[in-house]
């Protein structure tokens, strides 16, 4: 699929910020400031705010995403939330975020299981991959990201579900050293990694998978730098962290994304 046919996606990851009451107000404000039907807009609040945010966004065209789900359907897992429990509250779910890999010691095998649960529940997964700074310095960042993709997705291909997973999948490349540090990768860095991601997807599934799957950049994304990443044909949006808590920033990010979406569509026609 040529870039003009892939959707432009802006997903807001609020992490452990906002109380339920303020989350609803913030979500409604952002929705009102980012009315652009050419951009897929998603807000991922904390679990306790999913209900209020879902209600606040009803009828706005902005989708709701969860920040995580458990790898089992049901069981004695105190404090956990299954993918099935998210149905009716969220349409999307983030899987494999670097903070989960680091803080909860999530492995590629565990993330593969979470992808399976998300798909079974009818949720669309945003699969996160990315390297640590030491891995980039050692110039093994490409193999690290390829390994993460293969570890999370290969079980689905082996099971014969490649069509289903790739049709619903979004991948977010997030260099770990750029998350919450104020330091972001360059557009050239993101483009290099986009090429690696797309070649790996094509190798894992059908040749079309490498071109059809939307690929987001995540890592200190702001209204000031989003244009640099969206100028790369292989990048289709952003997974936004801290800036997604600021309506002005989100308005700028989505505004630029809408311009790019329309320009790509015009170029493809």
| The model's pTM | 0.95
Q: How far apart are CA 240 and CA 123, in angstroms?
A: 20
The alpha carbon of residue 98 and the mean position of all alpha carbons in its chain are separated, in whole angstroms, by 12
17 is catalytic: no
Going along the chain from its start, the domains and CATH numbers come out as 3-268 (3.20.20.70)
| pLDDT tens column, 40-81 | 999 999 999 999 999 999 999 999 999 999 999 999 999 999
pLDDT mean for each 10 residues of the chain (269 residues): 82 98 97 98 98 98 98 98 98 96 95 96 98 91 96 78 77 87 81 96 82 94 96 97 97 98 94
**Residue closest to 234 by CA, chosen among 205, 254, 214, 255:** 214
Distances (CA, A) of 160 to 39, 140, 157, 189: 31, 30, 5, 33
Q: Active-site residue among 97, 131, 135, 146?
A: 97
Distance (Å, whole) CA 164 – CA 76: 29
Is 71 annotated in the active site? no
The predicted-structure confidence for 99-116, as pLDDT tens digits, reads as follows 999 999 999 999 999 999
Active-site residue, from 106, 135, 174, 232: 174
Token pair, residue 173, equals 């490349």
């Amino acid at each position: 699929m040529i870039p003009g046919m892939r959707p432009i996606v802006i997903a807001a990851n609020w992490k452990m910020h906002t109380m339920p009451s303020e989350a609803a107000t913030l979500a409604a404000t952002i929705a009102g400031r980012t009315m652009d039907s050419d951009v897929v807009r998603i807000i991922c609040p904390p679990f306790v705010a999913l209900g209020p945010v879902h209600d606040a966004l009803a009828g706005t065209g902005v989708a709701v995403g969860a920040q995580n789900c458990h790898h089992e359907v049901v069981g004695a897992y105190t404090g956990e939330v299954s993918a099935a429990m998210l149905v009716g509250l969220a349409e999307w779910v983030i899987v494999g975020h670097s903070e989960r890999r680091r803080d909860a010691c999530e492995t590629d095998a565990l993330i593969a299981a979470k992808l399976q649960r998300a798909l079974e529940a009818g949720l669309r997964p945003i699969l996160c991959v990315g390297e640590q700074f030491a891995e980039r310095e050692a110039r093994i960042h490409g193999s690290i990201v390829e390994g993460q993709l293969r570890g999370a997705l290969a079980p689905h291909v082996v099971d014969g579900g490649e069509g289903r997973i790739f049709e619903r999948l979004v991948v977010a490349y997030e260099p770990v050293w750029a998350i919450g540090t104020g330091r972001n990768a360059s557009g050239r860095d993101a483009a290099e990694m986009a090429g690696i991601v797309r070649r790996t997807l094509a190798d894992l599934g059908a040749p079309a998978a490498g071109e059809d799957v939307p690929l987001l950049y995540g890592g200190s994304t702001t209204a000031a730098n989003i244009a640099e990443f969206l100028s790369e044909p292989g990048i289709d949006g952003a997974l936004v962290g801290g800036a997604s808590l600021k309506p002005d920033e989100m308005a700028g990010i989505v505004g630029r994304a809408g311009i790019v979406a329309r320009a790509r569509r015009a170029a493809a026609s």
